[in-house]
Amino acid sequence: MVNALLSGTLCGIIYSREVDMSSSNIAAIWARVSTELQQSLDSQVSRAKSELEKKGYIVSPERILKVDWTSLDLFHCPEFQELRRWIQKKEIAALGILDRDRLNAIGLQRLIFLSDCRENGVELIICQGPPILDEPEGQLVELALAIGKERQVLRAQQGSRDALRERATVKGLPTTYQNPYGYYWDKTQSRLLADVNWETRALIVNLFLQGKTLKSIVKELFKRGVPSPKGREWWPEPTVSLILKDTINYGEYRALRREAVEPKQRRGATYGKTSSKHHQGITLSNIVVEKPIITKEQHDWILRRLEQNKLNAKRNSKRDYLLRSMIHYEGDNLRYYGVDIRHMSWAG
């Protein structure tokens, strides 16, 4: 029995050493681009993999992370959180990155990540550019570099926004030539002409003017077999609402109506995409819209009704009762609350 225990203990020690040795040469690769149009993910992986293999590390396919993440808030990236778990659990011994810019993040986030790597013995291998500084004084340098890079990115983003605004306000040109639903740009790019979807756009607007709700319009489009702009069977209600709010319906084209911004709150694991913030926009009087559907007065009525729908939705979503949770019955300690079903209210 003693021999069995000793042999079991020795096997456990040998197994644990094998696990430690196997994890001591496992490496991961972090490849990142800022926009979907960039095609450098595969080249980043091949470059980092060759550098890691030169140092004797093994890179398995499941340890390669390819991400498209535009935000500086890197901690909300699901793949980055997975990378942090590998580091904190000491599942990898090295991390290969093309250059320092692939770790662009808010200053403190980048410093925390570098601290995790240092505490868990993960070697950062930078393929090109200056390496990461590991000395204690290097933390201050890395923080300063991260903050400087963050400000550089913010300045570049602001410069892009200013250039787009100047294009609309000074040159009188659209910021993009994306075709609105039901229209397309002519060869001179100064006129919007009606296409095959114009009838569907007119149907949506006229149904709303007749008193139909967004839900009933969606059902009517489904009944007629009209696919959404993205080819889906059912139309999303926000898509119908955006068409109703569009000033093109009465013949006025506006630029800078939508801005891509980072959401204040992320409800779950997202993929770095931004949310849209809608503005009134800037009118471009030199753009001619063919076949307006309604008048300016009818468009104003549509906007008022949509705003009223928002107020009604807020009223229906929550009803506050004066004595809610303040009075309770001594018999079974039930609390007083209000119930509203189809506008018939009573206390329970």
List the chain domain ranges.
21-152, 183-315, 318-348
DSSP percent split of the chain into helix, strand, coil, nearest 5: 45, 15, 40
User: Which residues lie closer than 8 Å to 288 by C-beta, 6 or more apart?
Assistant: 190, 191, 192
Could you give the 3-state DSSP secondary structure of residue 69?
Answer: coil
pLDDT score of 5: 40
| Within this chain, domains 21-152 and 183-315 share the same CATH topology | no
Which token pair is 89?
A: 């659990």
User: Which residues lie closer than 8 Å to 258 by C-beta, 6 or more apart?
Assistant: 276, 277, 278, 279
pTM above 0.95, yes or no: no
Amino acid symbol at 107: G
State mean pLDDT over 225-253. 92
User: Which residues lie closer than 8 Å to 215 by C-beta, 6 or more apart?
Assistant: 237
Encode 192-228 in three state secondary structure.
EEECCCHHHHHHHHHHHHCCCCHHHHHHHHHHCCCCC
Which candidate, 51, 48, 44, 46, places its Cα nearest to that of 67? Answer: 44
Task: Report, at the CATH architecture level, how domain 21-152 is classified.
Answer: 3-Layer(aba) Sandwich (3.40)
pLDDT in tens, 292-318: 999 999 999 999 999 888 877 776 555
pLDDT score of 346: 44
State mean pLDDT over 214-242. 93
- CATH for 183-315 is 3.90.1750
pLDDT score of 176: 82
